[in-house]
Amino acid sequence: MPDLCALHQVFRPEVREVHTALTAWGGIVVHFSGVPPGVNAGLNLNFPDDLLHVLDGKAQGGISCSTVRPGDAFEGNTRNSWGCIGVIVRGRTSWSLAGVDPNDCGSSKQPDGLRYCIHADRDLTLAEVIDSLDSRSPNDCNEWVVRDYDALGVLIQPPCSIRAFGTFATKDEIVSAFSQWPLFTITLDGLYELTPQLELASKIPISKLYPN
């Protein structure tokens, strides 16, 4: 049976409010490769097929994401993401945001195809959304469970580890897999779009991806 969020029977902040919070915090929402449980179909796909599955809109029942911004660590024992290469997503409606947590939502895929977390059956306030950003540990990841999403492009962060740390995607693999999508990277001074050859192109304001 669908949870209350899926049924639109619980409160969620408006999309523009969530976008304003992200812009103020200076970050984006990303589902990273190497998080098999994040693919709602439970296919346990390997890179790059796991991300192509999400890019193709085949995980609309929910994906596990983390929010990342300039200055974050993407690999190592203390990091702010679940990987280095991921799909940047944006929710379409207020109820796209099934749950948020400064740490780990403990989300899981349900038999009905929805990705579930405890927040999905209760109201979620804007204050909780903001807290999931501001109270994220400097040495760990937070979690946003996002359903009914739009894929905005692919985030690529050095050293481009995939699946398990110590395994790396090559430039040719990345270009071949994602040539049809906008490519982005985060540097210390902001979010940049990349050329098809993975070179820095133009700096992109967060508000362009998450308009108010």
The CA distance from 9 to 12, in Å, is: 9
Condensed to tens digits (0 to 9), the pLDDT of residues 119-128 reads 999 999 999 9
Q: Could you state, in order of their start, the residue ranges of all structural domains in the chain?
A: 15-209
pTM given for the model = 0.95
Q: Report whether pLDDT(38) > 70.
A: no
The closest alpha carbon to 162, from 101, 89, 86, 92, belongs to: 86
Alpha-carbon Rg for the chain, nearest whole angstrom, is 16
pLDDT bin (cut points 50, 70, 90) of residue 42 is: low
Q: What is the mean pLDDT of the chain?
A: 92
